[in-house]
Amino acid sequence: MRGVTAMTMAVGAFFGVHSAAQATVRIDIDLTHQHMHVASDSGASYDWPISSGRPGHATPRGVFGPQRMYKMIHSIKYDNAPMPHAIFFTGGYAIHGTTAIGSLGHVASHGCVRLHPDNATVLFDLVQHEGATIHIGGDIPGGAVAANPHKAGHRLAFAHRKRLMELGYAPVHHPRTLKQWLRNPVGNR
């Protein structure tokens, strides 16, 4: 019995210390005001202008976590555009630095959340060391609601693709993964 109690206390102490040692960065993105607030358990706090998806290229809304992070990656889909300090949070959507700093504070992207390169560097380092939760909400300026492609569900997404094909539109192109690109950068079949 004593061994079980000691083991339970040891496991509890391990998880207690482990969870206390992990700080988390909370990233709040307001699509309505094209603004990001960053707050860390370690005490860091920032407010930055962003550029999110313009009409027809909505930024997903919801709560996300970082899925992949790259100090530098280029968009295959958008003319090899640089995406410094990219934090991918769902599918091909990322928070990343941009050279189009004049557009910050206004919708301008194809769905990603763009930041000033200096701010993207700071955010990347924070998330890399502390982890993050990403909260995206609000409407894009002009009143159109930013879509969340995951809320509609599989049946609605399938019906939407089917309807687009009936109208003569091609389905949405899904960009190749970095692994696929490394195997075949030119994209020949």
CATH of the domain at 117: 2.40.440.10
- Determine the average pLDDT of the residues in 168-175: 50
Q: Report the range of poorest mean pLDDT among 75-79, 167-171, 173-177.
A: 167-171
For residue 127, is it within any domain? yes
Predicted TM-score (pTM) of this structure: 0.65
Q: Residue 1: is its pLDDT beyond 70? A: no
For residue 2, is it within any domain? no
Identify the burial level of 86 via C-beta atoms within 10 angstroms of its C-beta, where 0-12 means exposed, 13-18 middle and 19 or more buried.
Answer: buried
User: What are the backbone angles phi and psi of residue 96, rounded to the nearest 5°?
Assistant: -155, 165
| Total domains present in the chain | 1
For residue 168, is it within any domain? no
For residue 82, the enclosing domain spans: 21-150
For residue 163, is it within any domain? no
